[in-house]
Structure 1
Amino acid sequence: MKTLGKILIYFSLAVLLFWQGPRIYNLITAEPYSTPFTLYSCTIHDFVSVAPKEGRGTRLVDRQGNIYDESAQPMFYYSVVIDKGNMPDSIEGRKITQEGIRRHNAIVMRSPDDINRKAAPVYLLMESIPDGMELQDPEQAFVSKKDGITIYDMGSNSVDKAKTEAFSKALSDNGFVFPVVLASANPSHRKEYDAGYLMTDSEGKLFRMVQVDGQPSVERIPAADGLELKDIVVTELRDSSLAGFLIGKDDSFYILNSALELIPTDMKYDPFQQKFLLVGDMFYYTFKISDKKGEMYYALRTGTFETVDTLYREYPEDTSIPRLHFTSQNDKYVRPRISL
């Protein structure tokens, strides 16, 4: 027994050393590295980054090293620029108002751990036109089956037969072939409006489904016919200019505008491996797509969504030694894995 006990102790120590030893070494030897917050500027038409001042505070710097104040990013720092009296009356021929700035400013984020996880195929169903003035948390949810969808009242865990029949029929009448394959929505009351679901059927066709006053509103989106999709992102921006983003199997990135027209872009994005950040304003969308190798920035003009500029930052080579760990920023699973 003593021999077995020693073996278990030595084995535990070896596992602990293999697990924590490389981590401690990497913490001691790693050099801190971070990249500055960067946006495309509508006034100087270049990427502008936040950099520290000598002493305290920050400043804005373009790629050539030119230094600016907040006026180089008037849409992002609009409160400061307005307070200083530096906001121009118009930019690129468009009149500037504080309400217009707030309405068009947008942020959308996406991380691999948003989709790299197993989740029950239960979809919350919001009412887009509630009785009161504000959106309410969903009280119903639906599951998809081969012959339709079933809608449940979550409070009583009972089937709403009338809605189940109505929604299944509305989808079928518009050509939806069950079951649901991909579905994206933002079932939260903390937004200005609800755009419902963007979802694909078993044949890969794209649809939008919204609950309006308790009734289904279903629309097929033929612009996406022929695309093989791996991910869908519903945006619900304040200005309603975008319906969502569609990601193809080949990592191609498409924008679905408010008219449900499909607009291809120059961007490549793997939602299972890369992080995604959009910061938009009246004039440009700055997209940041990053992974462990670096970060790629795209500046797209609003309205046309043409790429006007790009920027790539490569991260320093990772010199840390391989180690055992159990979690990852790319998924929600807890399991042993070796980082290389």
Structure 2
Amino acid sequence: MKIFFQLLMGVVSALMLIWGLTSLGALLQRGGGYVPFTLYSEVVGEFVSLDNSGEEGSRYYDYAGREYTESEFDSVLPSFYYRQLVMDGRLPDSIHGVAVSPSMLEEQSFIFISHPSSINCHVTPLYFLLESMSKRVYLEMPSDVFRLGKKGIEFIDMSRNEVDRAKSELFQKALDAKGVAFPIALVAGNATTKKPYDHGYLLLDAGGRLFNLRQTVGRPYLQEIALPSGVVPQQLFVTEYPSRAFLGFLVDEVGSFYAITLPDYRLVKAELPPLDLTRDKLTIFGNPFYWTVIRSRDGEALYTALEAGSLRRVKELRFEASEGSSIAKYLVPFQLSFTSPLHGYFRPEAHHFSWFGLLLWLVVGGVWVAVARSVGRRCALGYR
């Protein structure tokens, strides 16, 4: 038993030492490669970058070899810098034959961000259903929440902490009339008043059918969304951008990305490489002409320009950032962390195996054993 506890303490001490050296290495680690701010220009038809990494100040350029001044850079990204162009009186009347105005560019431009930590998390299964046809200028939070159980939907009055049976039955009848199968597999919505309107929730039922649930003048509104053959949703996102051109986004089990358009509730597939949102950070800068889609993982970034509307791929640009250098890879056989930027939970992870670190530990361990045996022999001889 004594040998077992000694072995256990040795293993625990080794793991704590590895974790400590991993943390020290991360603290002293130099950053990886720098990625300049980059978007696809609807004017020059090329990716353009703003690079602040040089000692001589900011540099503005595109990947066709052209250099720009700061003022020229604003002009090649009019959808992004339209406020500056309006202030300078330089906003063009049209872009590629399409008439533009500040209100049009503001309404049809958006930014979408999905981070792995927002995917790899637990969600409290209580949801606020706002009024989609509010008579007020600003949205108001409801006085109840709903939950989706194994057999149906229930609304709970928060002030009384009781089930609102009348409202629950009203919505349950609407769900039954459409043949919604419980339990619900996926739920997505934006329970906030900081948006111009409410699109309700996207629900994926037990049978793999997709629905949009809203509350309209206090009554249920339910619309089924036809899924293309073979599409099995993995992540759902409801979008409530000013243009109202999209209901939301969908990523299926093979990593394909779709936009759900309005008012036809049609899925448009984007020409993007497969996504894994549990590991990839996804950022979209959209405007009336093109979307710049950025997939980031492990310091690398893939930029894809999509034609707005058709979501057809126009051009790609890849930044392969070098991994930051850590002293831990020379000191330990593998690195050990208890947290990760991919999630917010305590989850031990072993990563970055190092042959050099393994060899170092074998050499040190061999020397330690040899010294311990030598000391043991001397002590035994001295005792005799």
What is the TM-score with the length of structure 1 in the denominator? 0.90
Shift of 1:227: 1.7
Q: Which moved more, 1:177-186 or 1:66-75?
A: 66-75
Spell out the pairing of 1:185-264 with structure 2 (5 A cutoff): 185-224=189-228, 226-258=230-262, 259-264=264-269
Partner of 2:25: 25
Partner of 1:3: none
Shift of 1:330: 1.1
2:106 to 102, 112, 123: 102
- Distance in 2 separating the partners of 1:25 and 1:207: 48
Partner of 2:321: 315
Partner of 1:273: 279
**4+ aligned runs moved over 6 Å, structure 1:** 6-13
Change (3 A) 1:53 1:312: closer
Kindly indicate whether the alpha-carbon contact (under 8 Å) linking 2:271 and 2:311 is maintained by their aligned counterparts in 1. no
**Letter matched to residue 251 of structure 1:** G
- Distance in 2 separating the partners of 1:238 and 1:117: 28
Partner of 2:371: none
**Letter matched to residue 269 of structure 1:** L
- Distance in 2 separating the partners of 1:43 and 1:250: 34
For residues 205-250 of structure 1, the C-alpha deviation after alignment (integer angstroms, 9 at most, x for no partner) is 0100001121100011124464211111111111011111111111
Shift of 1:31: 4.2
5+ residue gaps, structure 1, are 1-5
Identical positions, percent: 33
Change (3 A) 1:120 1:54: closer
1:339 to 348, 351, 360: 351
Kindly indicate whether the alpha-carbon contact (under 8 Å) linking 1:126 and 1:140 is maintained by their aligned counterparts in 2. no
Partner of 2:358: none
Q: Which moved more, 1:98-107 or 1:121-130?
A: 121-130
SS class of match (1:125): coil
Change (3 A) 1:315 1:33: closer
- Distance in 2 separating the partners of 1:292 and 1:173: 47
SS class of match (1:266): coil
Shift of 1:315: 2.3
**Letter matched to residue 62 of structure 2:** D
- Distance in 2 separating the partners of 1:51 and 1:168: 55
Partner of 1:324: 336
SS class of match (1:122): coil
**Letter matched to residue 172 of structure 1:** D
Shift of 1:10: 8.7
SS class of match (1:282): coil
Spell out the pairing of 1:1-340 with structure 2 (5 A cutoff): 16-52=16-52, 58-68=58-68, 69-224=73-228, 226-258=230-262, 259-267=264-272, 268-292=274-298, 294-317=300-323, 319-320=325-326, 321=329, 322-340=334-352
SS class of match (1:124): coil
Which structure dedicates a bigger proportion of its chain to strand?
Answer: 1
Which structure dedicates a bigger proportion of its chain to helix?
Answer: 2
- Distance in 2 separating the partners of 1:263 and 1:12: 53
What's the RMSD between the two structures over aligned residues? 2.6
What is the TM-score with the length of structure 2 in the denominator? 0.81
Kindly indicate whether the alpha-carbon contact (under 8 Å) linking 1:206 and 1:225 is maintained by their aligned counterparts in 2. no
Change (3 A) 1:158 1:56: farther
**Letter matched to residue 115 of structure 1:** I
Kindly indicate whether the alpha-carbon contact (under 8 Å) linking 1:60 and 1:72 is maintained by their aligned counterparts in 2. no
Compare CA radii of gyration and give the structure with the larger one: 2
Q: Number of residue pairs matched?
A: 338
